[in-house]
């Protein structure tokens, strides 16, 4: 059995190590807290602090064990009380420190970091207090050792100072060596002899800018796999999104290949600023390079990569065509390394010191609807279509005109502003490090109206979520009751008091020409319906009139056996035309000079469609009139041409529907 002398010997042997790691941890913690400018020195100091914390754990725990075992038998109330006050925050400091090292500063648990800081301050207060109380108390002999602080051998302070100074020298040396050894990112185009085919600007006809007015190294904008290591949950959402597939989308591949074939690869810059920013910004889009439609390239695989969005610093203007200003993030140590050990160190630094990471990738711009305008607005000028300025899709301007922006005179029905993010990036449960205090993140599925990509990829979860998104009562269909001026409730002579004036009856006579008015109300979409590429999407009203025995009286908008929609249906679409007045149905927009037809339902407004048909004499009362607003991504003609060997029949989604029973009567001739 160990004696008090043995315990004290163990304490004295461990005290220099405890003092050394404590002083190092305190100094590096204070320096990194007060001098927080992102630098190699700061990050090496953070690593030294983490190492000191680990060392502190393995030296202070045995020290405390021996110290407590020895001092419990010594009845000194003041020293015992202050010792307990010091031990509790030390244990809290260890727990919160390990929590930060393993899980990082998570948005949902910022209290852990705050508790760690408070714990450090409390320890720095109570430990000296405990030492003072112990030193001022009556001296006790322990074997042949005695003194005010028997467990602290002489020279401990000097040893701690030498150790701490050595660590600081090592930090400075490591920072210097790292700065000298790390390579700079390239600001040259990926293709030699890069051609400025659309003037002096490197990215025209795309309206993209970069913060340093140079090309971007692929390692800065691609490499989404590095983000996935910490943000696996968000990455899984992004992987199903149309953003991730913006360049590998089979329809886009067909169109970009057609553009490059007809106009050259430099013309691809018009599309790739939004669909494949990796290819545009790295300088691939010049003879000798490859565009984003080429399989197995970083631009094709990642589409709109993590940094494709999170690297945007500001907007050039709000007219679209990739009108963003891109700036790369500041690297953490070993950000360019593929070594698995160094990669873990890099990820550790981001977890425990995410300030710069959040500043670079969580800019206030990302919470503004203007962010979406950079790519979800589009125009073309003479330099591209050899004709003149043409406006195309512009969901941002449509949102500005809607009640949801609160910047329009017809916004009285809305009490708050609804941003693009609120619909297309709703808050969803997640265990991601960026999850808020309620455990939710903005969904990176970017749900919209693309139903064919999930079908091609057999991503049934994304398909069901997309269908649900389209069917959440954002568009409402209603059928007006026929308003007859000659309506009779009955043919009997009644006193006026017995008549019901609340609502006139509605009905049709057999053999008459009936009129049905269908209203489509855009009550929940924050922009026009349909939105986006409405020249190749398909939205229409299907109207079916059946009698009581289920016999068809009239129909419009049905899908035939060949999967084409009834051409006489009432469609919501735009028809682009070229210089010859012919329809640009292949989405080869470089030939577009205007539109011959456009029909949409603006946000907060309604569209009325009238149908006329003859009520046959054989129909049985009542007639059931059913109107359905249907939608499918890609019309059949374009889908067969663009998808080629990947063609699949794209089912229509019923976005809104209504039904009305209308009685039938036999007209009585009056002689």
Instruction: Give the model confidence (pLDDT) of 621-665 as tens digits.
Output: 999 999 999 999 999 999 999 999 999 999 999 999 999 999 999
Q: What are the Cα distances from residue 376, in Å, to 234, 312, 355, 369? A: 22, 15, 30, 11
203 belongs to a structural domain: no
Q: Give the separation between CA 329 and CA 312, rounded to whole angstroms.
A: 10
- Same domain for 225 and 340? yes
443 belongs to a structural domain: no
Question: What CATH code is carried by the domain that includes residue 513?
Answer: 2.60.40.2550
- Same domain for 372 and 475? no
Q: Give the separation between CA 578 and CA 84, rounded to whole angstroms.
A: 84
Taking residue 261's Cβ as centre, other Cβ atoms within 10 Å add up to 10
Say whether pLDDT at 43 is over 90.
yes
- Same domain for 550 and 642? yes
What are 485's two structure tokens? 């001026």
- Give the lowest-confidence range in 82-86, 231-235, 615-619: 82-86
- Same domain for 232 and 314? yes
Say whether pLDDT at 490 is over 70.
no
Q: Band the pLDDT of 320: cuts 50, 70, 90.
A: very high
Query: Which of 47-51, 65-69, 132-136 has the largest mean confidence?
Result: 47-51
Domain count, the chain: 2
Say whether pLDDT at 568 is over 90.
yes
Please indicate whether residue 639 or residue 407 has the higher confidence score (pLDDT). 639
Among 190, 297, 309, residue whose Cα is nearest residue 248:
297
281 belongs to a structural domain: yes
Q: What is the pLDDT of residue 144?
A: 38
- Same domain for 257 and 384? yes
Please enumerate in sequence order all residues whose Cβ is within 8 A of that of 422, keeping only pairs 6 or more positions apart, or say none.
none
6 belongs to a structural domain: no
Q: Are strands 427-429 and 390-394 parallel, antiparallel or unpaired?
A: unpaired
105 belongs to a structural domain: no
- Same domain for 509 and 627? yes
Residue 268, strand partner residues: none
Please indicate whether residue 124 or residue 390 has the higher confidence score (pLDDT). 390
- Same domain for 343 and 230? yes
Q: What is the pLDDT of residue 246?
A: 97
Say whether pLDDT at 504 is over 50.
yes
Q: What is the pLDDT of residues 365-400, one digit of tens each?
A: 999 999 999 999 999 999 888 899 999 899 999 999
DSSP 593-645: -EEEEE--B-TT-EEEEEEEEE--TTPPSPEEEEEEEEEESS-HHHHHHHHGG
Q: Band the pLDDT of 141: cuts 50, 70, 90.
A: very low
Q: What is the pLDDT of residues 510-532, one digit of tens each?
A: 999 999 999 999 999 999 999 99
Residue after which a domain boundary falls, among 363, 379, 394: 394
547 belongs to a structural domain: yes
- Same domain for 472 and 614? yes
- Same domain for 365 and 508? no
Mean pLDDT for 180-199 is: 93
Q: What are the Cα distances from residue 381, in Å, to 17, 175, 270, 280, 390? A: 71, 50, 11, 19, 6
Q: What is the pLDDT of residue 159?
A: 87
Mean pLDDT for 78-98 is: 84
Residue after which a domain boundary falls, among 394, 419, 435: 394
112 belongs to a structural domain: no
Q: Band the pLDDT of 155: cuts 50, 70, 90.
A: confident
**Tell me, what DSSP letter sits at residue 362?**
S
Say whether pLDDT at 321 is over 50.
yes
561 belongs to a structural domain: yes
Q: What is the pLDDT of residue 146?
A: 46
Q: In which domain, by residue range, is 345 found?
A: 209-394
Mean pLDDT for 416-435 is: 93
Residue after which a domain boundary falls, among 394, 426, 455: 394
Q: What is the mean pLDDT of the chain?
A: 90
DSSP 462-502: HHHHHHHHHTSSSEEEEEPPP--TT--S-SS---GGG---S
Q: Band the pLDDT of 670: cuts 50, 70, 90.
A: low
- Same domain for 375 and 515? no
Q: What is the pLDDT of residues 433-460, one digit of tens each?
A: 999 989 999 999 999 999 999 999 999 9
- Same domain for 388 and 510? no
- Same domain for 235 and 342? yes
Q: What is the pLDDT of residue 75?
A: 61
CB 526 within 8 A of CB 399: yes
């Amino acid at each position: 059995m160990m004696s008090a002398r043995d315990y004290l010997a163990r304490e004295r042997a461990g005290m220099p190590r405890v003092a050394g790691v404590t002083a190092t941890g305190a100094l590096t913690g204070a320096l990194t807290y007060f001098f927080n400018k992102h630098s190699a020195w700061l990050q090496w100091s953070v690593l030294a602090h983490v190492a000191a914390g680990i060392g502190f754990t393995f030296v202070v725990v045995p020290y405390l064990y021996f110290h407590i075992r020895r001092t419990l038998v010594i009845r000194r109330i003041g020293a015992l009380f202050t010792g307990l006050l010091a031990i509790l925050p030390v244990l809290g400091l260890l727990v919160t420190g390990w929590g930060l090292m393993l899980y990082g500063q998570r948005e949902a648990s910022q209290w852990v970091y705050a508790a760690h800081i408070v714990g450090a301050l409390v320890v720095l207060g109570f430990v000296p207090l405990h030492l003072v109380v112990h030193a001022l108390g009556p001296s006790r002999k322990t074997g042949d050792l005695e003194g005010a602080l028997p467990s602290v051998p002489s020279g401990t302070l000097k040893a701690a100072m030498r150790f701490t100074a050595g660590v600081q020298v090592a930090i400075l040396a490591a920072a210097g060596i790292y700065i000298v050894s790390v390579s700079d990112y390239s600001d040259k185009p990926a293709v030699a002899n890069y051609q400025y085919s659309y003037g002096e600007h490197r990215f025209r006809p795309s309206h993209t800018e970069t913060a340093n007015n140079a090309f971007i190294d692929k390692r800065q904008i691609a490499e989404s796999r590095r983000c996935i290591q910490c943000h696996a949950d968000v990455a899984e959402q992004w992987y199903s999104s149309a953003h991730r597939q913006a360049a590998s989308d089979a329809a886009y591949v067909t169109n970009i290949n057609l553009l490059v074939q007809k106009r050259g690869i430099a013309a691809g810059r018009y599309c790739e600023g939004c669909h494949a920013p990796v290819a545009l910004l790295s300088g691939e889009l010049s003879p000798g390079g490859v565009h984003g439609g080429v399989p197995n390239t970083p631009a094709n695989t990642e589409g709109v990569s993590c940094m494709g969005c999170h690297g945007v610093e500001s907007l050039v203007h709000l007219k679209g065509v990739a009108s963003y200003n891109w700036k790369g993030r500041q690297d953490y140590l070993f950000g360019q390394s593929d070594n698995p050990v160094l990669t873990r160190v890099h990820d550790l630094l981001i977890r425990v010191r995410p300030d710069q990471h959040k500043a670079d990738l969580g800019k206030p711009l990302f919470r503004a609807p203007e962010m979406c305008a950079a790519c979800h607005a589009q125009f073309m000028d003479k330099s591209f279509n050899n004709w003149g300025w043409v406006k195309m899709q512009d969901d941002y301007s449509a949102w500005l005109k809607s009640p949801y922006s609160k910047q329009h005179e017809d916004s009285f029905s809305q009490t708050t502003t609804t941003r693009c993010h609120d619909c297309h990036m709703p808050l969803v449960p997640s265990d991601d490090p960026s999850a808020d205090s309620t455990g939710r993140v903005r969904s990176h599925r970017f749900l919209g109206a693309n139903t064919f990509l999930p079908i091609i990829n057999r991503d049934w979860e994304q398909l069901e979520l997309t269908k649900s998104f389209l069917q959440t009562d954002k568009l409402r269909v209603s059928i007006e009751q026929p308003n007859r001026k000659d309506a009779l409730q009955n043919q009997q002579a009644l006193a006026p008091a017995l008549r019901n004036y609340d609502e006139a009856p509605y009905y049709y006579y057999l053999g008459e020409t009936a009129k049905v008015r269908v209203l489509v109300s855009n009550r929940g979409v924050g922009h026009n319906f349909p939105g986006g590429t409405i020249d190749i999407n398909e939205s229409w009203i299907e109207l079916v009139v059946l009698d009581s025995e289920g016999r068809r009286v009239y129909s419009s908008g049905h899908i035939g056996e060949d999967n084409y929609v009834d051409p006489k249906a009432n469609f919501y679409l735009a028809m682009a035309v070229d210089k010859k007045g012919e329809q640009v149905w292949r989405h080869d927009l470089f030939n577009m000079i205007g539109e011959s037809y456009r029909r949409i339902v603006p946000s907060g407004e309604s569209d009325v469609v009238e149908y006329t048909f003859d009520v046959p004499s054989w129909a049985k009362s009542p007639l059931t009139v059913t109107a359905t607003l249907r939608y499918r991504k890609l019309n059949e003609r374009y889908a067969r041409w663009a998808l080629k060997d990947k063609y699949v029949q794209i089912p229509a989604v019923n976005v809104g529907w209504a039904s009305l029973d209308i009685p039938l009567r036999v007209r009585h001739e009056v002689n």
